Amino acid sequence: NIDDCWSAKKRDAAGRLVPDPERFPSGIRALADYVHAKGLKLGIYGDLGNFTCGGYPGTTLDYVKLDAQTFADWGVDMLKLDGCYSSEEEQAKGYPEMARALNATGRPIVYSCSWPAYQGGLPPKVNYTTLAEVCNLWRNYDDIQDSWDSVLSILDWFFTNQDVLQPAAGPGHWNDPDMLIIGNFGLSYEQSRSQMALWTVMAAPLLMSTDLRTISPSAKEILQNRLMIQINQDPLGIQGRRIVKEKSLIEVFLRPLSQAASALVFFSRRTDMPFLYTTSLAKLHFPENAVYEVQDVYSGKIISGLKTGDNFSVIINPSGVVMWYLRPTALPVQPWHVVGKQAHGEGLRPILL
């Protein structure tokens, strides 16, 4: 994905966007052909306003159709449409208009909107039913910075508001907590593992942002964890929820997966030392009398025959995670799955899916 500042400072005589001739001397079409030849896809950045956030030509309402066709002609596969220098009214018209314009080109283009981020991310200003009809993914909240504080602030906002956000996600329409910063400078090894696991349990689009020429083997290993990616891309597309928040600063997140499987993330906000956390699947509202095979997503270790009522312990490093993939080997007569949902004053209740 190419971000802001890729274009020349002015449109051409026909009103079309033009790539910066120094940085993209062969143009975007040639770049798209090169990227496609590698078996990859190409994304580009636009902005619904007079200017992009970086001060380059924006896509005002009168240019929506032309720019959509330009991106399609270039062979672009994804558009991130930002919202700098635009009004609420322009956004309300422009974001759906761009969706129609992209579809009218006949080229499949993934459409990422920044619309809710400019409206505070929450109802009543944001209508998630409408968003899901218009966009494939959307930025709800602030830009991520290369810091652990930034990751935590995004995490807090998303899970504080999970009752609103979680139902909005599904195949073809996703909440986007912004990119992975694994491999950059701001996160420790444990924090990098945590961001990957927590973004996966959120069913977040995984867009990495790091210099692949200098990436460390450990960052590469985290980003290329096959089981993690499989969980992230689970076909049910259900966003996970935070189901436990302990006074010990341990939090537990659950994501339901296809074939009655689940992903559990045990996350430590502690900064002192590794913590031994003991619980059971029964306490996490898994179905009674079920038996699971558990695979540790990072270590690959397997625990067989874990029953719902069995107590177990995990050791979680400071600002780290333990992530489990649970596959049922025996279920109760009526197979069902559980998502913890907070009911007012009642603690956690299981919900049948």
Q: How far apart are CA 254 and CA 68, in angstroms?
A: 38
Q: What value does the mean pLDDT of the chain take? A: 94
* Under 8 Å between Cβ of 48 and 82: yes
Q: Are residues 177 and 270 in the same domain?
A: no
Q: Are residues 184 and 280 in the same domain?
A: no
Output the domain CATH number for residue 106. 3.20.20.70
Q: Are residues 149 and 93 in the same domain?
A: yes
* Under 8 Å between Cβ of 29 and 107: no
Q: At 244, phi and psi to the nearest 5?
A: -140, 135
- For 322-339, write each residue's pLDDT tens digit: 999 999 998 775 544 544
- CA-angle at 201, arms to 197 and 207, nearest 5°: 70
- For 113-160, write each residue's pLDDT tens digit: 999 999 999 999 999 999 999 999 999 999 999 999 999 999 999 999
Q: Are residues 40 and 172 in the same domain?
A: yes
Residue 200's SS3 state is helix
Q: Are residues 90 and 207 in the same domain?
A: yes
Q: Are residues 248 and 161 in the same domain?
A: no
Q: Are residues 137 and 269 in the same domain?
A: no
Please indicate whether residue 82 is annotated as part of the active site: yes
Q: Which residue in the list 67, 77, 82, 178 is annotated as catalytic? A: 82
Q: Are residues 224 and 255 in the same domain?
A: no
- For 158-214, write each residue's pLDDT tens digit: 999 999 999 999 999 999 999 999 999 999 999 999 999 999 999 999 999 999 999
The predicted model gives 19-44 an average pLDDT of 98
Total domains in the fold of the chain: 2
pLDDT score for 337? 54
- For 245-277, write each residue's pLDDT tens digit: 999 999 999 999 999 999 999 999 999 999 999
Tell me the whole-structure pTM to 2 decimals: 0.93
Q: Are residues 101 and 221 in the same domain?
A: yes
Please indicate whether residue 12 is annotated as part of the active site: no
H or E element at residue 111: strand 110-113
Q: Which residue in the list 143, 156, 163, 310 is annotated as catalytic? A: 143
The predicted model gives 312-319 an average pLDDT of 98
H or E element at residue 93: helix 88-105
- For 207-231, write each residue's pLDDT tens digit: 999 999 999 999 999 999 999 999 9
Q: How far apart are CA 80 and CA 110, in angstroms?
A: 8
Q: Are residues 112 and 91 in the same domain?
A: yes
Range of the domain at 286: 241-328
Output the domain CATH number for residue 312. 2.60.40.1180
* Under 8 Å between Cβ of 292 and 327: yes
Q: How far apart are CA 27 and CA 30, in angstroms?
A: 6
Q: Are residues 157 and 56 in the same domain?
A: yes
